[in-house]
């Protein structure tokens, strides 16, 4: 039994074992249950995720694909407000820098995150309610030192992200978006439309000279497997050439992505694969691959890869983005999101940049130390990335370090 005093000194938080694989705590108007099997929360989860403000990365199908990887325990926290489900947090526990870290399920491969909120909770989520939520989360018997809620976007519809009433730091990486305007012509008016169309025509002309191309969309199991296998191969080659660790080589990561891209009974999977392949039938070499999600009009490019050796002058990656954006605009979607991380090609497409933030909730004394260390690390990284001189120095040091390592060695080792 766990007891914690509320802000008025009344001992009102308790945790107890449940015969249904959950543990519960309560605090004033808030109560919470901790499920050690995400499937046990599926009914509540699917109800809450219907809200268009819920990111695809916190939906049940997305998290189910990432949960259960070897050595990583997964949990779901369901917080109720006045007896009704109000907040849902899909959590995994990993080791980081010697600390036990509870974080969003699959966050290492997500572009933005948020707890799932009910409308009633968002309407009432003032500083007092959020302080109560923090106390309730701290009282749960999570096997962790710290709860890290990262990549939180500042807005949740017309309201601010409720968690940002708690202490937070700006994430080191921004995200980049292209608003969609119902047609490709209208969408391109936000950027350099003439240059974009010219670049697309040049790519198509060069591809026509070597047999043409096809924009493939994985709508069957065989195509999905072909495109994902190609992505893994292309990414491994590119990262190796840059001396970087291949974060997609892990067997658990590959299994999760295969689950997310699996086409079953003709139904579109959560993660749809696109590619540019040589030949009018698309049977030739694959030059570029990308994985897209779409939820409530928000399209996110989750990953991409390019073969820049077979036909380096055709700009296959740029052509693929052109075709995917064109399709998304004509489908009536609201925004094409290039995801987290600053790269030149994203800035060339995107007139909109969105910042994100990280919240650290210490669960014990070690967690307080972890919070200070993690916060300082994020601030340091952001300072380097947003200060040109520091970024230049860091890039030079990184290049020098990589030259001293064997080809393909982990630069973080």
Among candidate residues 299, 311, 307, the one with its CA nearest the CA of residue 336:
299
Residue showing tokens 């300072």: 383
Among candidate residues 383, 412, 356, the one with its CA nearest the CA of residue 97:
412
Confidence (pLDDT) at 304 = 97
pLDDT tens per residue, range 371-391 = 999 999 999 988 887 777 876
d(C-alpha 256, C-alpha 55), whole Å: 18
d(C-alpha 378, C-alpha 359), whole Å: 11
Among candidate residues 111, 181, 113, the one with its CA nearest the CA of residue 150:
113
- Is residue 216's pLDDT more than 50? yes
d(C-alpha 213, C-alpha 277), whole Å: 6
Contact 318, 199 (CB under 8 A): yes
Q: What is the pTM of this model?
A: 0.88
Q: What domains can you pick out in the chain, each with its CATH number?
A: 2-172+356-404 (3.40.630), 176-354 (3.40.630.30)
User: Residues 157-173: what's their mean pLDDT?
Assistant: 86
pLDDT tens per residue, range 305-322 = 999 898 889 999 999 999
d(C-alpha 290, C-alpha 286), whole Å: 11
Over pLDDT 70: what percentage of the chain?
Answer: 87
> Helices (H) and strands (E) in the chain — how many of each?
12, 20
Among candidate residues 103, 93, 49, the one with its CA nearest the CA of residue 73:
93
Q: How far apart are the first and last CA of the chain?
A: 42
- Is residue 20's pLDDT more than 80? no
């Amino acid at each position: 039994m766990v007891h914690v005093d509320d802000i008025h000194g009344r001992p009102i938080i308790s945790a107890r074992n449940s015969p249904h694989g959950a543990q519960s705590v309560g605090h004033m108007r808030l109560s919470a249950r901790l499920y050690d099997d995400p499937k046990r929360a599926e009914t509540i989860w699917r109800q809450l995720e219907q809200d268009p403000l819920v990111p695809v990365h916190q939906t049940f199908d997305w998290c189910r694909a990432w949960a259960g990887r070897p050595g990583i325990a997964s949990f779901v926290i369901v917080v109720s407000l006045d007896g009704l489900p109000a907040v849902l947090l899909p959590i995994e526990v990993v080791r980081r820098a010697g600390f036990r870290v509870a974080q969003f399920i699959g966050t290492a491969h997500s572009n933005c995150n948020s707890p799932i909120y009910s409308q009633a909770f968002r309407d009432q989520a003032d500083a007092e309610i959020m302080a109560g939520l923090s106390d309730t989360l701290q009282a749960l018997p999570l096997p962790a030192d710290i709860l890290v809620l990262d990549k939180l976007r500042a807005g949740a519809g017309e309201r601010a992200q409720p968690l940002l009433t708690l202490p937070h730091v700006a994430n080191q990486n921004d995200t980049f978006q292209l608003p969609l305007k119902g047609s490709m012509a209208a969408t391109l008016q936000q950027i350099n439309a003439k240059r974009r169309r010219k670049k697309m025509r040049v790519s198509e002309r060069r591809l026509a000279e070597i047999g043409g191309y096809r924009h493939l969309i994985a709508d069957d199991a065989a195509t999905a497997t072909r495109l994902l296998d190609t992505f893994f191969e292309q990414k491994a080659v590119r990262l190796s050439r840059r001396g970087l660790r291949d974060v997609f080589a892990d067997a658990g990561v590959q299994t999760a992505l295969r689950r997310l891209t699996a086409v079953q009974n003709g139904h579109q999977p959560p993660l749809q694969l696109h590619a540019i392949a040589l030949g009018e039938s698309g049977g030739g070499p694959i030059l570029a691959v990308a994985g897209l999600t779409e939820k409530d009009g928000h399209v996110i490019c989750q990953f991409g890869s390019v073969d820049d050796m077979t036909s380096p002058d055709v700009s296959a990656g740029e052509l693929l983005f052109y075709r995917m954006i064109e399709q998304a605009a004509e489908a009536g979607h609201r925004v094409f999101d290039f995801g987290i991380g600053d790269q030149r090609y994203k800035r060339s497409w995107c007139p909109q940049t969105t910042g994100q933030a990280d919240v650290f909730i210490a669960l014990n004394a070690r967690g307080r130390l972890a919070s200070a260390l993690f916060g300082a690390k994020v601030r340091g990284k952001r300072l380097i990335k947003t200060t040109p001189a520091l970024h230049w120095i860091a890039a030079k040091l990184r290049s020098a370090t990589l030259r001293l390592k064997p080809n393909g060695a982990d630069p973080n080792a």
